[in-house]
Structure 1
Amino acid sequence: MRWFALVLIATACLVSPPDAMAHKESDAYLTLKTDPGDPHRLHGQWDIALRDLDFAIGIDSNHDGAITWGEVQAHKGAIEAYALPRLVVKGDGLTCELQATGQAIDAHTDGTYNVLTFDAVCDKNIPSRLTVVYNLMYEVDPYHRGIVTIHDGAKVAGAVLGPSHTQASLDLHEPGRWSEFTSFLVDGVWHIWTGTDHILFLLSLLFPAVLVRRFWPACVDVIKIVSAFSVSHSVTLSLAVLGIVHVPSRLVESGIALSVLVAALNNVYPLVHRRVWLIAFAFGFIHGLGFASALTGLQLPPGAMAASLGGFSVGVEIGQEAIVLAFLPLAFLVRLTRFYRFGVVRVGSWLIVAIAAGWFIERAFDVVIPGFASILPN
Structure 2
Amino acid sequence: MKALTLALLLLPLAALAHKPSDSYLHLDRAGDGFTGRWDVALRDLEEVLILDADGDGAITWSELRARQADVAGYALARLKLSAEGHICPLAPSSALRVVRHSDGAYAVVDFTAACPATPVALDVDYSLLFDRDPQHRGIVRVGSDGAGEPLILSATRHTARVSLEGLSPWRRFGQMVHSGVEHIWAGVDHLLFLLALLLPSVLRRDRETGRWVPVTNFGSAVKDVVKVVSAFTLAHSLTLSAASLGWVSLPSRLVESAIAASVIVAALNNVFPLMDRTRWMAAFALGLLHGFGFASVLADLELPAGSLAVTLLGFNVGVELGQLACVAVFLPLAYLLRGTPVYRRALLVGGSAVIALVACAWFAERAFGVGVSFT
Pairwise same-fold verdict (TM > 0.5): yes
One-letter amino acid of the counterpart of residue 227, structure 1? S
Q: Following TM superposition, by how much is the alpha carbon of 1:298 offset from its aligned partner in structure 2, in angstroms?
A: 2.1
Are 2:235 and 1:235 aligned?
no
How many angstroms apart in 2 are the aligned matches of 1:47 and 1:285? 30
CA offset at residue 282 of structure 1? 0.8
Alignment of 1:298-377 (within 5 A): 298-367=301-370
Q: Structure 2: how far apart are the matches of 1:109 and 1:153?
A: 21
Give the whole-Å Cα distance in 2 for the aligned partners of 1:69 and 1:367: 20
- Aligned residue for 2:70? 78
Question: Counterparts of 1:1-378 in structure 2 under 5 Å?
Answer: 23-35=18-30, 39-102=31-94, 103-125=96-118, 127-152=119-144, 156-211=148-203, 212-367=215-370
Q: Which sections of structure 1, spanning at least 5 residues, go unmatched?
A: 1-20, 369-378
Please provide the CA RMSD for this pair.
2.1
| TM-score (norm. length: structure 2) | 0.86
1:302 Cα deviation (Å)?
Answer: 4.1
- Mapped to 2, the partners of 1:155 and 1:171 lie a distance apart of 14
TM-score, length-scaled by structure 1: 0.85
Q: Structure 1: how far apart are the matches of 2:249 and 2:327?
A: 30
Cα distance in 2 for residues equivalent to 1:111 and 1:301: 22
Shift of 1:317: 1.1
The answer (yes or no) to whether the contact 1:155–1:173 under 8 Å persists in 2 is no
Q: CA deviation at 1:307?
A: 4.3
Contact persistence 1:158–1:170 (CA under 8 A): no
Q: 1:155 to 1:337 in 2, by over 3 A?
A: closer
Deviation, structure 1 residue 306: 4.0
- 1:171 deviates by 1.5
Tell me, in whole angstroms, the C-alpha distance in 1 between the residues paired with 2:87 and 2:132: 25
Distance 1:22 1:340 in 2: 25
Whether the 8 Å contact between 2:184 and 2:319 is mirrored in structure 1 is yes
Contact 1:157 1:171 in 2 (8 A): no
C-alpha distance in 1 between matches for 2:44 and 2:350: 36
| AA partner of residue 85 (structure 2) | G
- Listed as ranges, the gaps of 5+ residues in structure 2 are 1-15, 204-214
- What is the CA–CA distance in structure 1 between the aligned matches of 2:165 and 2:138, rounded to whole Å? 22
Task: Give the letter for the 2:25 counterpart.
Answer: L
On the 8 A contact 1:335/1:341 being kept in 2, the answer is yes
SS at match of 1:117: strand
Q: Say if 1:170 and 1:176, in contact at 8 Å, map to a contact too.
A: no
Length, aligned pairs only: 344
Asked whether the equivalents of residues 156 and 304 of structure 1 are also in contact (C-alpha less than 8 Å), the reply is no
Matched residue SS, 1:295: helix
Letter in 2 for 1:82: Y
Q: Distance in 2 between matches of 1:114 and 1:323?
A: 36
Q: Is the 8 A contact 1:235 1:288 kept in 2?
A: yes
Between the two structures, name the one with larger relative contact order (CA 8 Å, sep ≥ 6). Answer: 2
User: Structure 1 pair 45/315, CA: closer, same or farther in 2 (3 Å)?
Assistant: same
- Contact conserved, 1:155 with 1:175, CA < 8 A, in 2? no
2:172 and 2:160 map into 1 onto residues whose CA distance is 10
C-alpha deviation, 1:155, in angstroms: 6.6
Change (3 A) 1:128 1:175: farther
C-alpha deviation, 1:154, in angstroms: 9.4
Secondary structure at 2:52's aligned position in 1? coil
Q: Is the 1:147–1:161 Cα contact (8 Å) retained in structure 2?
A: yes
SS at match of 2:335: helix
**Kindly, what percent of the aligned residue pairs are identical?**
48
Using the TM superposition, give the Cα deviation of residue 65 of structure 1 relative to its aligned residue in structure 2, in angstroms: 1.5
